[in-house]
A = this chain, B = another copy of it.
Amino acid sequence: MSIATLNAAALAQRLADSGLRATPQREIVYDMLLKKRDHPTADEVFARVKAARPTISLATVYNCLQTLVSCDLVRAVNFERGPTRYCPNLRPHAHFHDEKSGQTHDIDLPPRLLEKVRSVLPRGFAAKSVEITFHGQARHASR
C-alpha cells in the first residue's frame, strides 16, 4: 500500500468522522500539501493542483483547505495580513517567518515549554490554542 493510499485512507476516515465525504478534490489538495511542505498559500495550492487536475476551481481549493483545517489535518498559518498559508505538520510547533526570503520554517516546541507559556495566563483565561511566531532572518536560505 503506497503512502498516498495510506494518506487517502486516513483522510477518508477523518472526513467520515465529521460526516463529510472523501472526494478526489479533497484528496488531491491534501496530497499536494503533504508533498511539498513549504506553507503554500491557497493560490499556490491552486496552481499545483491545477497541474494535475485542470478543471478544479479556486473556490474548491478554498473549500477543501477549510475542510482539512476543520478536520484537524492541516493548520492555517497567518503572518500579519498576508495570505493564509497551510501546513500539514500536526506536531506542536511554532513558525519562523523569514522576512527576507518570505520562507516559513517549522520550529518544534517541547511540550514542557508550551506548558510554561500557558502558565503565564491568569486565572479565568482558558486557552484552546497557543500560537508562537518568530519574525527575523534565517542564515540558510533553503530548507
Contacts and interface: CB of A to CB of B under 8 A. Distances in A.
B125 A134 contact: yes
Contact of A78 (B80, B126, B128, B135): B80
A76 interface: yes
Contacts of A123: 139
Contact of A136 (B99, B129, B139): B129
A107 interface: yes
Contact of A117 (B108, B117, B136): B117
A141 to B, nearest CB: 10
A130 B132 contact: yes
Contacts of A94: 120
A70 interface: no
Interface residues of A, number: 38
A121 B134 contact: yes
A116 interface: yes
A112 to B, nearest CB: 10
A96 interface: yes
A124 to B, nearest CB: 3
Nearest to A139: B124
Given A80-B76, A116-B116, A139-B126, A107 B134 contact: no
Interface in A58-86: 76, 78, 80-81, 84
Interface of A: 76, 78, 80-81, 84, 94, 96, 99, 105, 107-110, 113, 116-118, 120-140
